[in-house]
Structure 1
Amino acid sequence: MPFSIHVGPNVRTSPFFEATVADGVRSFSVYNHMYIPGNFGDPDGEYDRLLHGVAMWDVAVQRQVELAGPDAMVLAQLLTPRHLGGTRPGQGRYVPLCDHDGWLINDPVLLPLSQTQVWLSIADSDVGLWALAIARERGLDVAVTEPDVSPLAIQGPLAMEVAEALLGDWVRALRPFAFRETELDGIPLVVARSGWSKQGGVELYLRDGSRGTELWERVKRAGAPWDIGPGAPNDIERLESGLISYGADMRRQTLPANPFEMGFGAMIDLSAGHDFIGRAALERIAAEGPARRRVGVFLDGPPVDGNRQPLTLLRDGVRIGHVTEIAHSRRLGRNIGVGLAPADLGDDATGLSVGLADGERAASLTALPFLR
């Protein structure tokens, strides 16, 4: 039976919402208390465009938490176990955030505009409230707010052609996660060499929400020679590429995981001497070794449609872990998924299966990413 999505004031719309509706969006999800497009009516075509051409995405749900004041970097360092020494303005950092028990509560990109103005470009959890509480409890001289900033992503192997046509050839010199403040005919932007895909591209952080439709149309016109089209962050491509999705792969309330289990161990420098939330817990976990590890999973049988809930990973019928998301990969010609398994379980383990709604499927493990 057809149904519609009720758009009410309890879930916010993005500055690009009207433009996506005009361009034929067919589904939405909710992320950071906002609507995010799911697809524009042709999921397979949108996947192919991301892999072979160029796509534009409304990712305004990727909200910014701004830390502003003399203690901005002090607070930023308290929030993440990654050592931020030497971080300079204009260079983004992927930073896991943990609570006092060492559980991951977000995995944002940190964007230092200056030593006194820092953004955390967050995944799906209320990090602003967490940061504000830590700042107040520590007596730091820093304001924690959500600025008027809304990203629009340009992704795919032809993304840099579009970015150069739109902004100039300087965008090609940006290194991964680097960013620059600029304007596009008076539209204030931060342009970053980033995006939630392995296909490459940029994200345009719009700093004036009243100009969302204007920016969307400018990107469309600039990308027309390369057949740009609207889409959305793609779950199949992210699984193939081994990207982490906070909320899907882990969430403090329902799927708690620590950074060592999720593969962030190389980012955690416990010898640097810096203070951060969760240090004692992470020191203990590092000494004992993580109990689980992140794995790729192949599922036998016909193509799967995906899953609404985490799935059980079993060995000889006994639950040993979970699989957080599955999909059918056309590039691999196989069903794939990601999840957490016991740390001592090798990729050559036998007797594995995954519990689906219609029964168990035989499974095997593999290293991530599936595709590089």
Structure 2
Amino acid sequence: MFQVFPTARLRPSPFFNSIMAEGCTSASIYNRMILPASFGDKDKEYWDLINGVVMWDVGVERQVQLEGPDAGKLAQILSPRDLSKCKIGQGKYVPMCNHDGVLINDPIMLKLREDLYWFSIADSDIWFWARAIAAERRLNVKITEPDVSPLAVQGPKSAAVVSSIFGDWVHDLKYFWFSETEINGIPVAVQRSGWSKQGGFEIYLRDGKRGDELWKIVKEAGQPYAIGNGGPTSPERTESGLVSCGSDSDDTTNPYEVRLGNYIDLDVADDVVGIQALRRIHAEGPKRHQLGLILEGESPDPLAFHWEDILVDGQKVGDMTNCVWSPRLQKNIGYALISRSCHVGEAVTLRRSAGREVQASLVDIPFL
């Protein structure tokens, strides 16, 4: 039985009653909220994502809203990616860094107006960070957490479901672009995005009192396509090469080490937080890089609650940051954050639980 002990520290999403009624059996904590992980059949949830369509409560992806005359200026100061050509209705993936060039979040930035931006964040308190930066720069901008909660529809049949709700125009959305609209009077923004590589959309609910209504609308629209439940799946995201900020990175990791260098524009203004450190890192070259791991063994052997050492000739050269059983490869796979002296094709040793050692090979990412 799945039990949640209520506390003011732990906030439910607007879809909480719906996911409980659907039979959610496990969850994790993300941005001080409940992130559903499974509804009891992880194999079905995985294959529904790969072959069909699923709906996920991802209300944990909180929005940091910047509003006011200096909203665009602050958005750029927080982003080591050039936003100068970003249009209204466009989103951009942004590796957000501290002053040392360390990755602290990787939100999707959405531009709603010239004076209104959202950062749809991963798991860390960027609301506090943005307020501190705005205060020290004396910017005229209001920073809030709006009443906005995403619901994800993912998988190869997701476009059919979402278009049946909102219309065929959703097929024309480019990746990370969005449009504000409504359904049955429920205000939403529909964006082509999501934490999978199977295609999909995120529907940003803009009235938290109507979460159960929106869930029901999507569920009913998905019935002809056998829509399933679930949550962002670790096997699929690992197979597909998606980075989990805070899981695959630590308090020293920079974007270049985890394959996010293409999202850094080194010629942005000097006042962008972290850009001068990122320029130095780029010039000197990062000390680590992220590669894939394929482990020996024929049964699931997941990572527990901490990174595990990677050894070459008995010496630590890096860490395995995640490890899952890949249903499509029928192997345990994971990510290595490892010295740049190590390369694809090399054999390494993993120091796993209770000190046991497992052999693995380094491979390119993505796996599939």
Do the two structures share a fold, i.e. TM-score over 0.5?
A: yes
Task: Return the offset for 1:303.
Answer: 2.1
The residue matched to 2:283 in structure 1 has which SS?
helix
Kept in 2: contact 1:299–1:335 (CA 8 A): yes
Corresponding residue for residue 44 of structure 1? 43
Corresponding residue for residue 286 of structure 1? 282
Q: Which moved more, 1:282-291 or 1:113-122?
A: 282-291
Corresponding residue for residue 297 of structure 1? 293
Corresponding residue for residue 186 of structure 1? 185
Corresponding residue for residue 322 of structure 2? 325
| Deviation readout 1:107-163 (Å, 9 max, x if unpaired) | 000000011000000000000100000001000010110000000000001000000
Q: Say whether residues 1:202 and 2:180 are aligned partners.
A: no
Q: Which moved more, 1:300-309 or 1:100-109?
A: 300-309
Corresponding residue for residue 257 of structure 2? 261
Kept in 2: contact 1:62–1:150 (CA 8 A): yes
| Deviation readout 1:146-187 (Å, 9 max, x if unpaired) | 000000000001000000111110100001101000000100
Give the aligned residue type for 1:260: Y
The residue matched to 1:231 in structure 2 has which SS?
coil
Kept in 2: contact 1:91–1:111 (CA 8 A): yes
Task: Return the offset for 1:302.
Answer: 2.7
Task: Return the offset for 1:10.
Answer: 1.4
- Give the one of 339, 345, 348 matched to 2:345: 348
Corresponding residue for residue 273 of structure 2? 277
* Matched ranges for 1:9-20 at <5 A: 9-20=8-19
Task: Return the offset for 1:274.
Answer: 5.3
Give aligned-pair identity as a percent.
Answer: 50
| Counterpart-to-counterpart distance in 1, 2:239 and 2:191 | 23
Q: Which moved more, 1:119-128 or 1:284-293?
A: 284-293
* Matched ranges for 1:245-260 at <5 A: 245-252=244-251, 256-260=252-256
| Counterpart-to-counterpart distance in 1, 2:128 and 2:267 | 29
Give the aligned residue type for 1:316: D
Corresponding residue for residue 66 of structure 2? 67
Change (3 A) 1:3 1:169: closer
Aligned length: 366
Change (3 A) 1:21 1:319: same
Q: Which moved more, 1:235-244 or 1:352-361?
A: 352-361
Unaligned runs of 5+ in 2: none
Task: Return the offset for 1:305.
Answer: 3.6
| Counterpart-to-counterpart distance in 2, 1:223 and 1:97 | 35
| Counterpart-to-counterpart distance in 2, 1:340 and 1:282 | 18
Give the aligned residue type for 1:338: Y
Kept in 2: contact 1:198–1:241 (CA 8 A): yes
TM-score by length of 1: 0.96
Kept in 1: contact 2:80–2:268 (CA 8 A): no
TM-score by length of 2: 0.97
Kept in 1: contact 2:2–2:26 (CA 8 A): no
Q: Which moved more, 1:149-158 or 1:265-274?
A: 265-274
| Counterpart-to-counterpart distance in 2, 1:30 and 1:338 | 22
The residue matched to 1:236 in structure 2 has which SS?
helix
Task: Return the offset for 1:287.
Answer: 1.3
The residue matched to 2:229 in structure 1 has which SS?
strand
The residue matched to 2:19 in structure 1 has which SS?
helix
| Deviation readout 1:241-283 (Å, 9 max, x if unpaired) | 000111211143xxx3001111121222213445310122112
Give the aligned residue type for 1:257: T
- Give the one of 359, 362, 367 matched to 2:364: 367
Kept in 1: contact 2:190–2:202 (CA 8 A): yes
Corresponding residue for residue 308 of structure 2? 311
Task: Return the offset for 1:72.
Answer: 0.7
| Counterpart-to-counterpart distance in 2, 1:274 and 1:86 | 18
| Deviation readout 1:36-84 (Å, 9 max, x if unpaired) | 1110000010001000010000000000000001111110111111111
Backbone CA RMSD of aligned residues: 1.2
Kept in 2: contact 1:70–1:142 (CA 8 A): yes
| Deviation readout 1:3-43 (Å, 9 max, x if unpaired) | 84423221100000000000100011100000111100000
| Deviation readout 1:278-321 (Å, 9 max, x if unpaired) | 12211211111100001111111132342221111111221110
The residue matched to 1:260 in structure 2 has which SS?
helix
Corresponding residue for residue 76 of structure 1? 75
| Counterpart-to-counterpart distance in 2, 1:348 and 1:72 | 47
Unaligned runs of 5+ in 1: none
Kept in 2: contact 1:92–1:111 (CA 8 A): yes
Q: Which moved more, 1:123-132 or 1:303-312?
A: 303-312
Corresponding residue for residue 88 of structure 1? 87
